[in-house]
Each structure stands twice: as structure tokens, then as C-alpha cells.
Amino acid sequence: MSEADPKASGQPVVWDGVARSYMPPAKLVIDPSLKLFDLRSGQVDPITFEVVRNALISANFEHGALLEKLCTSPVLLFGRDFQTSLLSADGELACMGPNLQYFGNSAARTAQWTLERRSANPGIRPGDMFFSNDAYVGSPHQNDCVLLAPVFVGNELFAWVSNIIHHMDVGGAVPKQNSGAREVWQEAPLFPSFRLVEERVPREDLLAMFIRQSRLPLMIEADMRAAIAACEATRGKIEALVGRYGAGTVGAVLAGGLDAGERMFRARLETIPDGRWSHRVYTEAAVPGDRNVYCYQINLTKTDGRLVVDNLGTDPQAGAISLTFGPFSGAVFSALTSQLAADLAGVNGGVYRCVEFDLEPGLLSSPNHPAPISYTGAAPVGACIYAAVIAVGKMISCSRDPEVRALALGPTIPHFYTNGLEFDRPGGGLELFSSLDGMFGSLGAMPGRDGVAAGGHSWIPESVAPNIENYEHQSPLLFLYRRHLDAGAEGAGRTRGGVGVEQAFIPYGAAHGRASSHMNESFPKSQGQWGGNPGSRSFFRLHRHTGIAERLAQGEVPESSEEIGGEVTPLAYKGPSEPLGPDDVIEWATPTTAGWGDPLSRDVAAVSADAARGDLLPEVASRVFGAVFAPDGTLDQDATALHRRTLRAARMGREPKRDPAPAGGPCDGLAVGDMLVLHEGRWACRCSEDLGAAAHNYKDSAILSEAPVQQLASEFISDDPGMADLMALRQWLCPGCGVRFDTELVRAGDPVLHDVFIEGL
């Protein structure tokens, strides 16, 4: 029996941080020589509780602000690719900052592994700091380095201060992440947790060992020393707070904050019936040259006040698109906390108490060593955040409490879109450019409002994209334009997804360069919720032989892909390094997010307002939203109603029996999503069409329309049709009124997903 399949052999699965990711046991096994402070030993009055609680949160926020002041890497300065945390003595997340949210569980897991594996030898002592970038222990990938500073009260461990920062290059076969790695040995080295600082003094031998791996040693050293200094300063703040108020009081506040978060989360879960909610997302190309499609699936099972997360339905590990438990669990927690616990101000450990993970080993989201993991931050973790956001959104959409239902967020963009360039420096060496414009993101459509154009990410609240001037100052580049994408069929819904960003730029002042990493998507990855259209594709295009230098010299600045002209080089989604010359133009986009609800249910006033602002061309408004405008530019409501009925009849293949009911509002039974109702043990549309028993998949009673996603609208036509035709769009329509309940953006031939199952109704 293969080690990859221990469950089938009846053997226990060991999640040890070596053969597989580390998953802590119910009770940590810590050497008895290390004493942990009892946080529940003190008492505190309500006023002091609030004063100390805010002091702890402020100390953690100041930790992040200090990192921003001290670090030199643009990935930290602009991308906010870091996280600061305050942990309890046993590794519970007591507070995290407003930066990368999926990093939060990485600090906790690394602290717990350190407690179990380092408490005996070399020991954990006052003044120590521990370092790790081992993804099988807890770090997202090798570039994301965890630093842990224990805080002691006397001889007892009281808490941990932690930061995680992303370094631009930490060694390995290629700069940054190796999208072509087939095993971890082809990537930068993994360092399990080791003592880097003793008695508040860095170990220069070990620090030099890590810095030596990098192609950017000066930047790495500056950022490492910044991380150590910021951790030490924040540890000093916690020690001073304990000195002022006493360990019993500060400990009681730490414990009380965790308990309060747990109570709030359980109370919101109680408004949701027991059941199971699932979502899956697809990516392409496990390594450059691969022409296959791969699936990640996340399933949430809610029973009483607990959630169990599993990954059944995910494909087996392959190529360089796996992620370990630290980032996978962080992806799930970022989806949960951003929607159900955003008001906790980062005190998220109480939420974590309510969630269990039951993972199948050997899959893309739970790989066995030595699966490569350096590419985690570019695609796998974004895909899992996206899948988790939609699965959580589906669950919230079934709440009995309208205030909880309103907390649902729209889909995120499903990868972190970026590109990497290399330029040869005169005299030797490399100039590395990593685009941070993926930080523009865009916020997906929500139940009660449209998404936000270039609105960032729900999982990086403080995401910032650099100014063009920053790029041009730091790298040999010149930008031609950067602007919002046009709104079209992509992201359409009852509420619209936010549009993304497109740009064009050229190498400038550099004779030789390479596009070392890019993401030229063959098909959209972002599926709409409850009937919304998919989002758009990201693209990366190289225009060669453009004569751009001469045109710029004559004062001509191209403002569109058509004006750039030249020969467009066909690129795979993930390909080998492409040479860059001074006559080449790079065109790149981060995509529009998906929609929420049937586009034909969009309020006519909202469509009219979109058109009046210039956000929608009349042709798009008619084709996608069924809106008809009179010659004077005003919306013709009667003609719109007739046109929408005609469009619904066309997708049903017959005339609808009745008009759709409005989305939302009161109904008899449990409202599910936009247009579904569960009442007396049966599914129904809001128009009153019966859809079968509650135990069955309502999709079995709906009209199914399935075709390659490229056929949905002209905006979805791909420049790699062979790959795009591997994906189908399934549309589930009410047999009575023709409203679109839901969609599935799915690998052709995959089974229908039973994505909503509610017990006892």
C-alpha cells in the first residue's frame, strides 16, 4: 500500500510536519521543563478589560507599522505581503493585523510545532526567537518566513509575538517561485523552526546561512533584521503592559477575547441550519507545458456550533500547484472571519476553535512530502480562498437571520495575478521585477450591492498597488497606460462584480530581459454565485516588432491593444521564460470578479444608472441584462420586460409559464440564496415552482443548459480555444419562470456538484 493512501490500508494518518503537513493534536505534547502561564488565573473589571484589549490590538498594529518603516522590499512596502500576530502561550491566535489574512494560521501552527519539537532541545527561553520557512510545518511557502518571539513572565511562557514576511528571493533553482518544480528539492531550502536569536542577540552564523541562499542578499538581510527588530520592540510592549497591569490581568484579557470571539461565532452559526455546502475551482497547468485542468474542492459540514472542513473532490497532488495545511487552513479561516467575524478586529482564535479539518492526504490541498510548494502564493492559495469564500457565502445565504445573510461577500479573484521579469544588469547580476498590481484585485458582487472596481481583496484588507512612478523608478520599465477594464458580460449578475485592471508597459533602458513568470489564462476561473456570470480571464500578451521606440519619439502613445499592434506571441497559461527586447510591449490584466444572481434579475434602475455613467454600453445592457433604451436614452421598462422574457425563453427552449418573483424579501420557509426556498421538506423557486424533496439536489429538477464557457458570450472567447473547451458552463434554470438559480464552471465530464444540502427541513 502506498504511503499516499494510508486511510485505505487502515493505518492512521500522521500529520507530523515531515511526511505530511503538521496538524496539532487536541493536546500539545510539550516538555515538562517548559511551564505555560495560566491565562485564566486572573480577574479583570470591564473598563480595564477594554483598556488592555485595545492596548494589545494597538501593539500588534504598531508591529506592522514598524515593519513597513524598516523593511526595504517593495513586496512588503506596497504589497503588504506580511502579517503580525500575538499568540497565547499554547499558540492560539489572540490578535492579527489587517494584512494577509491567510498567514494567521501559519504563525499559530509554527508556534505549536515549535512547542512540541523544540521545548526539550534546544529549549524555549526568555530572549529567544525562532525562525521557520518550512511549509510542512506551517509557513505558506519558502519565501514566507515566520519569526516567533516568546514572551515570558518569570519562568513561565506567557505569549508569543510573531511576524511573517515575504522575501523576494530565498534561493533555489530559479528566482522567486519555481512553477516548474516537480519536487521540493528543486526549490529553495526549507528550514524547520530553529533558534535564530539568543538572549535578544541574533545568531550571526545562522542569519548568514539563510541570507547566503538569496540572489538579493542586501535586501534579504535588511528585511530579516527589520523583522527581528520589530518583533523585539513589540515583545517589549507586551512585557511593559504586563509590568503595568499584571500578568493575571493581561492574561485574563487574552483569554476573554478568545472566549468572546468563540461565543459570537457560535451564535451566528446557530442561525444557520445544519447541512453541507461545497464549492470547487479549477486551475490549469501543473507545470509549464501541461495541458490539463485541476480541481480544488472545499466542503463545509455544519453540525450545531461546529464546522468540519474536508477536501474530498480535490484532485491528487501534481506538479507545482499544491499547498500545505498552514496556507490551506488559513484560506478557509480568512473566508470565515472576513464574512462571519470581521468585527472581531483580528482576535480570531475563538473562531478557529469552532472548526475541525478532516483532510484526505495526497491531494492538491493536503500533499505528501516532497510535493513542491513554492508556487503556493501565486495560484493554489488564491484558488482555495476563492472556493472557501463561495462555500461560506452559500452557507451564510441559508441563515434564518437577515443580518447574517447580509454578511456574505462576493467571490474573490481566484488567483493572485502577477508577472515576473528579469533584466541583466550592466556588469553582471540580475534586476528582478515582480508586479504588485495584483493588489488592485476587485471585489465580487454581494447580495445587496455591486462589487468594487479594483477594490483590493477581502483577504488583504490593506492591499495597496504601487504608483506607476514607483515601478519606473525601481525597474527598467516605461508604462503606456493603466486603467479599469470595460464592463461586459464578465461579472454580470443581479449585482455586478467589480472590474479589474489592464495595463501596457515596455522594457526601457535595458538591452536584455526575460518574462520569467506570467499567467495567461485560457478560461475564467471565477464562477458567479446563485446564477451570476463568471468573471473575466487574466491575460499576459507580448507584442513584438511594434516599432514602439520610434513611435514614442514621434509623440505617439498607443492606448489600446489594437493600437499597440505588432505580432502577438501566443503564450500558454504557464510557460517557459520569454525573451524581452526594447521593441516589445507587454499587455497584462488582472480580472473582473464574478456576479451574484441572474443578470436578467438586475434592477432596471441600476442598469439605467450604469449606462448613464458610461459603465455599460447600450449593446451590452441589451445583450447581457435584457435592457432596452428608448431613442432619448431613457430605459423603456415595458420593452425591457418583454425582451427579458424573450431571453429567458431562448435559454429555456420554450416559453416560461410565469414571470420570476423578486429576489429577497420575506417568503414561506427558509430562503436559500437568491431565488430558492425550502418549505415543508421541499425545494421551490420563489415563483412557486416545485423542485423536489429537500433531501435531493434541487438541480435534478431544474432545466440544465450546458455548453463550453466560450459560448456564453463573446467576452469569454479564448485565445487558446483547445484549453478553454475543456471547461463547460452549466446553467440551472427554473422550469417555471426561467430564472437562473445557479451556474457551475466545471471541467467537462465532471459530475454535478450537490453543493447545498440542508438537514431536517
pLDDT tens-place string over residues 90-131: 999 999 999 999 998 999 999 999 999 999 999 999 999 999
* The pLDDT of residue 433: 86
3-state secondary structure of 264: helix
Query: Residue 231 and residue 111: Cα distance in Å, rounded?
Result: 14
- Triad 163, 128, 17: Cα angle to 5°: 65
- Whether residue 351 is predicted with pLDDT greater than 90 in this model: the reply is yes
Instruction: Please report, for the chain, the start and end positions of each structural domain, with discontinuous segments joined by +.
Output: 33-234, 410-597
Tell me what pLDDT residue 8 has. 60
For residue 5, pLDDT over 60 is answered with no
Q: Residues 446, 596: contact at Cβ < 8 Å?
A: yes
> CA 499, CA 508: separation in Å to the nearest integer?
29
Q: How confident is the model at residue 2 (pLDDT cuts 50, 70, 90)?
A: very low
Mean of pLDDT values over 326-333: 96
Please give the grid coordinates belonging to residue 732: 440551472
The predicted pLDDT at position 632 comes to: 87
For the residues 219-235, what does the mean pLDDT come to?
A: 97
21-24's contacts with Cβ under 8 Å and 24+ in sequence apart are: 21/135, 21/136, 21/324, 21/325, 21/326, 21/366, 21/367, 22/109, 22/112, 22/113, 22/136, 22/137, 22/138, 22/325, 22/326, 23/109, 23/325, 23/357, 23/359, 24/91, 24/109, 24/112, 24/113, 24/116
> Residue 446 carries which DSSP code?
B
Contacts made by residues 743-752, CB under 8 angstroms, sequence distance 24+: 743/527, 743/528, 743/531, 743/532, 743/533, 743/534, 744/527, 745/282, 745/523, 745/524, 745/525, 745/526, 745/527, 745/534, 745/709, 746/280, 746/282, 747/282, 747/293, 747/295, 748/708, 750/295, 752/697, 752/699
Average pLDDT, the chain: 93
Average pLDDT over residues 588-607: 95
- Name the pLDDT band for 10 (thresholds 50, 70, 90): low
Q: What is the pLDDT of residue 420?
A: 87
Tally the C-alpha atoms within 13 A of residue 227's C-alpha that lie toward its C-beta. 33
> Cβ–Cβ contacts within 10 Å for residue 121, how many?
7
d(C-alpha 50, C-alpha 748), whole Å: 54
* Percent of the chain scoring above 70 in pLDDT: 98
Q: pTM for the full model?
A: 0.94
Nearest to 571 by CA among 529, 538, 528: 538
For residue 179, the model assigns a pLDDT of 86
pLDDT above 50 (res 1): no
Q: Residue 642 has which C-alpha cell?
A: 418583454
The pLDDT score that the predictor gives to residue 410 is 86
Amino acid at the residue 154: G
Confidence of residue 6 (pLDDT cuts 50, 70, 90): low
Q: How far apart are CA 405 and CA 399, in angstroms?
A: 6
Segment among 49-58, 86-95, 133-142, 458-467 with least mean pLDDT: 458-467
Read off the pLDDT of residues 410-449 as tens digits, 9 standing for 90 and up: 888 899 898 889 888 877 777 888 898 998 999 999 999 9
For residues 316-345, give the mean pLDDT. Answer: 95
With 90 as the cut, is the pLDDT of residue 280 above it? yes
Buried b (16+ CB within 10 A) or exposed e, 60-72: bbbbbebbbebbe
CA distances for 35 relative to 38, 90, 236, 648, angstroms: 9, 11, 20, 67
**pLDDT tens for each residue of 686-722:** 999 999 999 999 999 999 999 999 999 999 999 899 9
State the Cα–Cα distance between residues 510 and 233, nearest whole angstrom. 41
Bigger pLDDT: 576 or 224?
224
Residue closest to 549 by CA, chosen among 509, 512, 582, 587? 582
pLDDT digits (tens, 9 = 90+) for 493-541: 999 999 999 999 999 988 788 998 888 999 999 999 999 999 999 999 9
Least confident of 84-88, 367-371, 424-428, 465-469: 424-428
Give the integer Cα–Cα distance in Å for 371 and 319.
Answer: 8
Q: What is the pLDDT of residue 504?
A: 97
Q: What is the pLDDT of residue 3?
A: 44
Q: How far apart are CA 699 and CA 680, in angstroms?
A: 18
The pLDDT value recorded for residue 725 is 93
Report pLDDT for 559. 95
| Residue 54 in this model has a pLDDT that exceeds 50 | yes
Q: Residue 208 pLDDT > 90, yes or no? A: yes
Average pLDDT over residues 446-474: 90
